[in-house]
Amino acid sequence: MDADRKDFFISYNSANADWAEWIGHVLEDDGYSVVIQAWDFRPGSNFVMEMQKALRQSARMIAVLSPAYLKASFPQAEWAAAFAADPEGAKRALVPVMVQKCEPTGLLSQVVHINLVDLDSEAAASRLLAGVKTGRAKPSTRPTFPGSKTSSASVTEVMPTVAGRLTWLRQATPVAITWRSDLDGRLPNQNGYEAVELHLVPVGDEARLQVKELAELSAALPDIGRRHQLFSSTEELDASADASKTWVLSKERGKVAGLTVTRSGQRTAWTALPRGTIGAILDEEHLVSQLKTMLDVLTSLPIPAAGLVVPAAGLEPANMISIGKVGVVSNSASFGHGMPRNVRPVAEDAVSFAEIGRYAQQISAELAARIVAEHRSAARIL
């Protein structure tokens, strides 16, 4: 095989350079090879000659569709060349990928495209990779029986779908959650203040990881945590892995923040609650923001994802937390003196992993409301 042979040439308009590079990264991360102007047309080279070379050495071409792409002149020549080389589409030489809503006309309108419009990162990557695969698109598992009223054998109750509202799926069998305290003896010591922790627990075994995958993930976790501001750009971190999990923790004195993934595919993050003059503060609005940040971190991890996950959140330690507002001194805050060691609302509802990005704010608000309600309830009982 020709060593210079590439799987895809990515054709795009400069207005969509960010999309082109994202597509390139997704494809190369999955083992494909690509040619893309931003990476391969180096200063001093002849643009037209490089374009001709890219078209010649690439088996297929991806056209990044957008209104700007359809109006530009150079992209038209590029996709037309790919179309002419495979007019019947037998080799799928031309693969249009729509990133912004537009209406291709003429010959281009006859080529089936991959639509990424309005998808979150995870869903878009999955659809892209599924779309470029050759062969049939038959699912590996049998589809749900169309006459069934539930989407999973483990689901016993499905909340009605409402526009703009996430569907939560009640699970008949509770999932096993590994809480942060369950890992305390197996992680480096991290002394600090009260923390909120968030878990995405997979339903089933499709997201289970191998030990080698855990070790490889360890190198990526620090940068992912910093990129999503779970950690600062300067704080010292402890990142490692063993046969059952991988983790990254802050080593900054007095700070509690961490990220871990277990072999079962459970994704976990935690960060300290804000503190006032009298201790940790449970501010529901601020808690939503913390949970949203952690959701963003956990859904960005480059590992297999289950179709359904159960979001679970809690507080630990919880016996000295007051309910109030960050930055506001109040004498009316309700204290948790005598509270149990932790606050762990029941987690029995699953959500589609692919929908988390779209509904991250809604999920965070619901988890925060559960934590506050559980805290108030425990305080009244005691």
Give residue-wise pLDDT tens across range 217-230: 998 999 999 888 88
Structure confidence by residue, pLDDT tens digits, 127-140: 898 888 876 666 65
Domain ranges for the chain, please list them.
Answer: 6-132, 180-381
- Whole-prediction pTM: 0.57
Dist CA 266 CA 138 (whole Å) = 28
Residue 81 has pLDDT above 90, yes or no: no
Tokens for 108?
């281009």
Q: What fold is seen in the domain 6-132? A: Rossmann fold (3.40.50)
What was the pLDDT predicted at 23? 93
Count Cβ atoms below 10 Å from residue 363 Cβ, excluding itself: 23
Average pLDDT over every residue of 243-263: 88
Confidence band, pLDDT 50/70/90 cuts, at residue 162: very low
Dist CA 320 CA 144 (whole Å) = 47
In three-state secondary structure terms, 289 is: helix
In this predicted model, which residue has the larger pLDDT, 288 or 73? 288
Instruction: List residues bridging with 239 in a β-sheet.
Output: 248
Average pLDDT over every residue of 46-74: 84
Count how many residues are written for the chain. 382
- Report cis status (omega within 30 of 0) of the bond before 317: yes
Whose CA is closest to 144, among 136, 152, 135, 155? 152
Residue 204 has pLDDT above 60, yes or no: yes
Structure confidence by residue, pLDDT tens digits, 325-351: 876 655 444 454 556 778 888 888 999
Residue 232 has pLDDT above 90, yes or no: no
